[in-house]
Amino acid sequence: MCVTPPDPEAVALPGHERIQSYLKTLDNSPGVYRMLDAQSRVLYVGKARNLRARVSNYARPGGHSPRIARMIDETASMMFLTTRTETEALLLEQNLIKQLKPKYNVLLRDDKSFPNILVSKTHAFPQIKKHRGAKTEKGAYFGPFASAGAVNRTLNQLQKAFLLRNCSDAMFESRTRPCLLYQIKRCSGPCVGLISAADYADSVADAERFLSGRSTKVQEDLAIQMQAASEAMEFERAAALRDRIRALTQVQTAQGINPRGVTEADVIALHLEQGQACVQVFFIRSGQNWGNRDFYPRVGADIEAGEVLQAFLGQFYDTREPPRQLILSHRIEDPDLMAEALGQKLGRKVEILVPRRGEKAELVEGAARNARESLARRMSETATQGKLLRGLAEAFGLDAPPQRIEVYDNSHIQGAFAVGAMIVAGPEGFLKSQYRKFNIRGEDLTPGDDFGMMKEVLTRRLVRLLKEDPDREKGLWPDLLLIDGGAGQVGAVARIMAEHGVDDIPMVGVAKGIDRDAGKEEFHRPGQHPFALRHNDPVLYFVQRLRDEAHRFAIGAHRQKRARAVGATPLDDVPGVGAKRKRALLAHFGSAKAVSRANLTDLKAVDGVSEALAKAIYDFFHDRG
């Protein structure tokens, strides 16, 4: 049920009286409520076991924290949606918070997925690799790991220990001799028959046992094999087994914490200080520590720890699978309700613990220490960032320190695979979730026309801003634009901005300067003489960092585009041939060229290719003229 705004005369009343006017329309049902300001922007989203009782709390004239009092005063209208159960209300509340990002809610700002290790089972000789995203590929998944770095370190040691391949199936099928990984003892060479399918399967089973937490048994078996090889005077084999045991030990050492009494859990600790929060999450799977990650949710100065953790859990596990146990540093507001909601998502019981003694308490203490230290570092970096932004405002003649800086750069090779890139920075550093890349579409551009590319990128950006936030109320508009280039680039961008009626945003071009040396940059502003900063000015180093980050992001986007183009084949254009059949055809014939020359009989022999599809492929390559 949605409730319309109150009578216009009620808008002039104090906030709690405006809220009071809704009570007569509410019953005791569970549900979700939204508080909106005079411009219908969502201020807060909350859930309630009893909507009428919860809203009546806001209708009181006093007894609220400063944050809640401000929210009530700004509330002009409310919306309500009833649900069958409080659990449904909790799930709906978290979905709405993530979508609407209300001003007064605790908000988790980092929503990236976590990587896994995948032992693929689509091939007779399984591949071990990093995987991120939906688990659609057949195989055994192990994770989540806290970061790509944690996965890469583990994979590096697992390759040494188990000698499993990480090459693609197409690469595997095309090999005629072992690759470099075999030479440096990171692969057993199954592609050229240097290990039997049975022995390779044993290695895969050992790797899966190790990743499942049965590492002691794996190491014991390897030690027995090493001793037997040594007694048989097969010293080279014994040395290889010794190296594999050492690699497994290095994995365990790198993990640091390997609890005995905790098999599958997330250890979550919160530290609050001066209106800022850090939540530290340790991932414990199969009795092993698979890394930790810190998060900095948006909170208020007078918020309670339980409310922060409650909101964090709801948003964190909205798109992620929870473990069997959540070990917390603070008690949350509705532990039983949260456990029920997460249990429904997982399909089995989820236990929420706040331990006070024993091994679990020690795990929480370690996570809390990490959270405290991480927040201290962040607050120090934020203070430094604030000083740099003030210096930037002074150097560029801005009215106030910029809260949002957008930096633009292009990348291409003689005009080919051209992309534009935008990075964003502010008081909290680089805002990577707001980075954007632009595939250059202009067909009339001269190859290498940087002016034309920048014009296309800025035009598309400004058009989008004018469409999505014409009143500049959502915080999407920049306070400063930095352009990689000199007077020519600045003039071109200034004309683009004037064409769109956006001439009040400060814009500065960063040119390499004399000899194109770092440290000799010149800064260009529309209608003003270029200037430079002192060689050792911290603001100069700050601008260099911004420009280098934009350059790094642009080059990365360019390389991705180029790699996709290089990996493209004529098979991509054949109707009915998707990624799976493309892999099958390339594995069978070795190349797209060989597929194009194949006859109907050979095409029908490929696994998964029907007679109709074989004819379509044959016709595509032979009847196009």
Q: Where are the domains of the chain?
A: 8-100, 116-255, 265-376, 405-565, 570-622
Nearest to 175 by CA among 192, 200, 199, 153: 192
pLDDT digit string (tens) for 339-372?
Answer: 999 998 888 899 999 999 999 999 999 999 999 9
Question: Which residue is associated with the tokens 């990236």?
Answer: 112
The first and second tokens of residue 273, run together, are 């200080």
**Burial, 181: exposed, middle or buried (Cβ in 10 Å; 0-12, 13-18, 19+)?**
middle
Four-way CATH pick for 570-622: 3.40.50.300, 1.10.3720.10, 1.10.150.20, 3.40.50.1000: 1.10.150.20
Nearest to 193 by CA among 170, 176, 169: 176
Q: Which helix (H) or strand (E) holds 553?
A: helix 538-567
Yes or no: say if 57 and 70 are a contact pair by the CB < 8 Å rule.
no
The first and second tokens of residue 54, run together, are 């919860």
Q: What is the reported pLDDT for 568?
A: 59
Q: What is the reported pLDDT for 508?
A: 92
Q: What is the reported pLDDT for 160?
A: 80
Query: How does 288-307 read in b/e, with b if 16+ C-beta sit within 10 Å?
Result: bbbbbbbbbbbbbeebebbb
Spans of the chain, pLDDT less than 70: 1-12, 111, 215-219, 244, 247-259, 412-417, 442-449, 513-519, 562-569, 572-573, 623-625
Question: Which residue is associated with the tokens 């092993």?
Answer: 288
The CA-based diameter of the chain, rounded to the nearest angstrom, is 96
Q: Where does residue 40 fall: left (phi above 0), alpha (psi -120 to 50 degrees), or beta otherwise?
A: left
Given this chain, do its domains 8-100 and 570-622 carry the same CATH topology?
Answer: no
pLDDT digit string (tens) for 237-270?
Answer: 777 777 767 766 665 555 555 567 788 999 999 9
Q: What is the reported pLDDT for 454?
A: 82
Nearest to 168 by CA among 562, 598, 558, 582: 582
Yes or no: say if 272 and 305 are a contact pair by the CB < 8 Å rule.
yes
Residue type, 24: K
Strand pairing partners for 283?
266
Four-way CATH pick for 265-376: 3.30.420.10, 3.30.420.340, 3.30.420.40, 1.10.10.10: 3.30.420.340
d(C-alpha 550, C-alpha 555), whole Å: 9
d(C-alpha 164, C-alpha 166), whole Å: 7
Sorted by sequence, the CB contacts under 8 Å of residue 584 that are 6+ apart come out as 606, 607, 608, 609
Is the domain spanning 405-565 CATH 1.20.950.20? The answer is no
The CATH number of the domain covering residues in 8-100: 3.40.1440.10
Residue 43, classed as helix, strand or coil, is strand
Q: What is the reported pLDDT for 248?
A: 67
> Looking at the whole model, is its pTM more than 0.75?
no
d(C-alpha 136, C-alpha 580), whole Å: 12
Residue type, 493: V
